[in-house]
Chain A
Amino acid sequence: MAAGNYAETEFGDFHRRLMILRVGLLLVVALLGLRLWHLQVREGPYYRDLSENNRTRQVLLEPARGLIYDRHGVLLANNVPSFSLYVTLEEVKDRELLIGRLTELLGLDPALIRKKLTAKGGKLLPRKVKDRMTLRDAVLIESHRLELPGVMVQVESQRNYPGGVIAAHLLGYVGEVSAEQLEKPEFAGLHQGSVVGQYGVEKSFDRHVRGQAGQKNVEVDAHGNEKQEVVIEQPQAGNDLYLTIDVRLQKVAEDLLGPEYGAIVALDPTNGDILAMASRPGFDPNVLSRELTPKQWVEIVQDEGRPLNNRASQGQYPPGSTFKVPMAIAALETKTMAPSSTVSCTGGYQFGNRLYHDWKASGHGAVALHDALVHSCDVYFYTVGQRMGIDTMAEYGKEFGLGQSTGVELPSERTGIMPSTAWKEKAKNAPWLPGETISAAIGQGYVTVTPLQMASLIGTVANNGVNYRPRLVRAVMDRTIGNLQELPAVPRGKVKAKPETFRLVKEALAEVVTKGTATRAKSSLVTIGGKTGTAQVAALRTGPEENIPKKFRDHAWFVAFAPVESPKIAVAVLAEHMGHGGAAAAPLAKELIETYIKLTSPAPAVTADDSTAKPARRAPEPL
């Protein structure tokens, strides 16, 4: 047949060629085998690891943050369920597409999502992209789940402050741990998305309240569907805090300030418990504990009232005449003045070529220490200061805790300044000028204090020199073992002054209220001792108070304690730009003290209900 012949001639090489094909085939298959051996045997364990990671997702179980109560067990901070959106990068095929979809569905800021997705952290660990989602958004995401691989919605607990703005500066707020924070040792063990206290007690007691995250290893398929849970490590709830404040008093304090800027601190001089600490303007920690847009942040930070500033512990003001209280004690103790020695006040004090005015232009006449305090005679204290010298004044100021932190458990407490020659040398690189001593003697010039320091100071005086560190937390409840641990009061030492000195000064302070500069603080309910102060804001004062723009008006001070016989409460009131302490600040202190006396007297008023929050759990016994 023709075909056969054809094969003989033209096709002769066929078998040799076929041989090439066979050899080639064997070579290629050997190559494939080698490759598979390399993948499966040599690198097998590596890929086995990868496949294990592929199917198990580490799901962190966020711990419930500890609750915060006031001293009587009224709930101040708790947790409510909320929806959070998580993205696991490993499962995301097209990142930009996802960002686009999320922007579209939830109206989020694409730059913000991108930032979260590109932040440090593994591809396998889900990262939080949005919290406090509305139910509507959560349902929307769930219904688009199949189009959004790697996206999941989780129910989480969200910090909630039932009282809203009440005690905001004290409680603080929570927020996601920042990248910078994660680098620090105190945030070890946390991860991107962990919620930590960012301000107030939430921050300073974060380690107690935070709890410990648990972990769930979930076997999931490529769509993120959970197939089964592999390992569970239960999260540990944080500890509960019992604060020293009485929320009823706190509310009164805040309402007293109303729309004005300022601070009120009330504490128990016998143990340092802070009963109320108000700062105005305030903020809603519920808003700040949420994810804020950059715009919201700018608004809050640039607010002229600086609402995030806790004026009680961070506001530094000249103490004005309230500084005469430690000055009086120093004068007696150093024997600069005997109780009966008098100074003639003619309304001014000549030093060098400058005349230092008394607030009362007509002068007080011949005054001894008692009347000098009662009527707040400046000339008397100019004289005392001049005789004593700045360094002795500083020594006594420091005895009362001025120029140093009180040690209260709040972040960023400021110390104020108690100047001395050494201080000025160091801070201003200039010698102390004699005239500056005279300004300092009435709490002007370089001297600055915080309202908290002044409350502590007047409390120390009321307590005859025994000083306790102001504190905000009286007990910690360990959630895991249910053990309530009472924290002891922390003594800060005793001011070295004779009891007689305290008696004389307190007598005078009581008369300040009954007949002196603070008669508006006079109460029919309780004896109150106190001292007014007017902190000068602008050095030059022309014309009557009303003509001065508000921001240049003086700050009004009043520090007080009550009852005079056995003090239970010490109060410092600072009202910014409100003028005279006697007129603006003293009535507030009186109101607060009366409230406290009513609350603590054994009369039925104790059970006065509080509309802000229902007591969720009672502390065993009020301290």
Chain B
Amino acid sequence: MIDRLTEARGFDNFDLRYVGLILAILGLGVLSIHSVTHDQQGGIAPYYLKQLIWIGLGAAAFLVMWVWDYHSLARLAYPAYALVLLMLLFVLFEGRASKGAQRWIALGPFTFQPSEFAKLVLILVLAHYYSKAPRVGWLQRVILPGLLMLPGLLLILKQPDLGSGLSFVAVYAAMLLMVGVRSQALGVMLLFSVMLFPFAWEGVWGSLHDYQRQRIMAFVNPDYDPGGKGYHALQSKIAIGSGELTGKGLFGGTQSQLKFLPEGHTDFVFAVFAEEWGFLGVLVLLVLFVALIWLSLEIASKAKDQLGALLAVGIVSMLCFCVVVNIGMTAGMFPIVGIPLPLVSYGGSATIMTMASLGLLLNVKRRRLSLFY
């Protein structure tokens, strides 16, 4: 028992594969970021170098989250959530605006995006909530955690950050699914949603910013006006499609190199990657992501306790949601909602937080055999 315990505290093959996958995806991301930004000024340093710095900080966060016992971490969930809400409030009034949305807090030369931090904290809060006591009845199981999530969700939607908001809902739904909802309750919920939809639509559509509405309209028919609203979606599709089977090669992506595709290093980095590496490259990246998610689900299923399992599920569902929605939106399957591709898109907050959550995942795995501590 002791032997197995010590073994579990170190790195085993499983961990190495896991870390290897993360590094491979990060590497492809840095390559694509460099490819699309190599001829532009990224401020104090080239983008790829800055991304490497974020990855370095992310690695530190990864290690911290890996080492720190998730049980003691979970006890900090509510205070952390309070902090997040404060930061979101601060952003609302004092934040740095960019592209019509107010999402950032300035920290010296850097900006910090609390909504990324909020995603991880939300996972902690929900996992903590469900694992602390048996939550029975639909009030405790569905409504209360929903209300718990609501202030954060509303503050994020107010920024507005539709992508992060949707991922909040996705994590909540995934957790709910894992904890288990009676099929009856699920049915009632569905019925309610359908009935409430027209009213909710009014509220949601009315609260959206013009650019968000336009993006959704453009999604419905991107070819409607290639100079205008559908421009982004169409250029992204052209970038991906023109990569064909084998791609145009590194630095060869004309769509991104000639800047027809905006935000090629952030939200649309997948389109850049697909253009330069083609369908074959895309398959490789998808396989890497599926493998990472698969291993993460493995961790969830072997988690020692409910807290660990729920943490793992929350993190995996967040990862899944971001990957699917990001690729889906660049490929023109979903409206453009502004979700970065985890580990690939350029961005400090997102990279660090994603790596931190993956560290937490490994933490869950690491402690799955330590029955006594």
Contact = CB atoms under 8 A, between A and B. Distances in A.
B227 A44 contact: no
A51 B177 contact: no
Given A14-B178, A17-B178, A41-B245, A28 B226 contact: no
B371 A18 contact: no
Contact of B258 (A25, A40, A150, A221): A221
Interface majority SS (helix, strand, loop, mixed), chain A: helix
A28 B293 CA distance: 13
Contact of B286 (A15, A32, A47, A48): A32
Interface in B257-308: 257-262, 274-275, 278-279, 282-283, 286, 289-290, 293-294, 297, 300-301, 304-307
Contacts of B245: 40-41, 44
Contact of B240 (A29, A39, A93, A222): A39
A25 B290 contact: yes
Interface stretch (B51-59, B98-106, B323-331, B353-361): B323-331
B322 to A, nearest CB: 12
B238 A47 contact: yes
Interface in B221-267: 226-228, 231, 235, 237-245, 254-255, 257-262
Interface in B161-202: 174, 177-178, 180
A7 B278 CA distance: 45
A55 B260 contact: yes
Interface string A117-131: 000000100000000
Given A18-B178, A40-B245, A93-B228, 10 more contacts: A22-B294, A26-B290, A32-B333, A40-B240, A44-B242, A48-B241, A51-B254, A51-B275, A54-B238, A222-B260
B309 interface: yes
A93 B231 contact: yes
Interface string A31-55: 0110111011101111110111011
Contacts of B259: 221-223
Contacts of B304: 4
B126 interface: no
Given A94-B228, A222-B259, A25 B333 contact: no
B320 interface: yes
Contacts of A1: 305, 371
B242 A47 contact: yes
A3 interface: yes
Contacts of A89: 227
Nearest to B243: A40
Most buried by B among A50, A89, A95: A50
Contact of B227 (A26, A28, A123, A220): A123
19 contacts: A7-B306, A13-B180, A17-B177, A18-B297, A21-B177, A21-B178, A26-B290, A32-B331, A39-B240, A39-B332, A40-B244, A44-B242, A44-B243, A47-B238, A51-B238, A51-B242, A51-B254, A93-B227, A223-B259
Contacts of B134: 6, 10
B254 A55 contact: yes
Nearest to A24: B320
A618 interface: no
Contacts of B324: 28-29, 32
Contacts, number: 156
A537 interface: no
Interface in A222-268: 222-223, 227
B206 to A, nearest CB: 23
A583 interface: no
Contacts of A32: 286, 324, 327-328, 331, 333
B227 A4 contact: no
Q: Which 4 A-B pairs have the closest CB atoms?
A: A47-B241, A44-B244, A51-B242, A221-B258
B309 to A, nearest CB: 6
Nearest to B261: A222
Contacts of B294: 22
A91 interface: yes
Interface in A54-102: 54-55, 89-95
A20 interface: yes
B29 to A, nearest CB: 18
B349 interface: no
Contacts of A150: 227
Contacts of A220: 258
A43 B228 contact: no
Contact of A54 (B255, B262, B371): B255
Contact of B293 (A25, A92, A95): A25
B111 interface: no
A28 B324 CA distance: 7
A48 B333 CA distance: 19
Nearest to B174: A21
B131 interface: yes
A150 B293 CA distance: 44
Interface string A409-451: 0000000000000000000000000000000000000000000
Nearest to B227: A92
B34 to A, nearest CB: 18
B290 A17 contact: no
A6 B309 CA distance: 13
B177 A20 contact: yes
A21 B317 CA distance: 9
Nearest to B240: A39
A226 to B, nearest CB: 11
Given A20-B177, A29-B290, A220-B258, A35 B333 contact: yes
A283 B120 CA distance: 78
A41 B279 contact: yes
A227 B293 contact: no
A59 to B, nearest CB: 16
A556 B244 CA distance: 80
A219 interface: yes
B242 A50 contact: yes
Contacts of A18: 178, 297, 300-301, 313
B120 to A, nearest CB: 19
Contacts of A221: 257-260
Contacts of A28: 320, 324
Contacts of B227: 89-95, 123, 150
Nearest to B328: A32
Contacts of B309: 7, 11, 14
A48 B242 contact: yes
Contacts of B180: 10, 13, 17
B286 A40 contact: no
A4 B231 contact: no
Given A11-B309, A28-B324, A48-B241, A22 B290 contact: no
A7 B260 contact: no
B260 A36 contact: no
Contact of A39 (B228, B283, B331): B331
Q: Which of A21, A26, A52 has the most CB of B within 10 A?
A: A21
A605 B315 CA distance: 101
B258 A21 contact: no
B178 A40 contact: no
Contacts of A40: 240-241, 243-245, 274, 278-279, 282
Contacts of B228: 93-95
A54 B260 contact: yes
Contacts of A39: 237, 240-241, 331-332
B229 to A, nearest CB: 9
Interface centre among A1, A4, A25, A55 (most CB of B within 10 A): A25
A44 B227 CA distance: 22
Contacts of B371: 1
Contacts of A37: 279
A227 B235 CA distance: 19
Given A37-B279, A55-B254, A3 B131 contact: yes
Contacts of A13: 180
A221 B243 CA distance: 18
Contacts of A50: 238, 241-242
A466 to B, nearest CB: 65
A50 B327 CA distance: 21
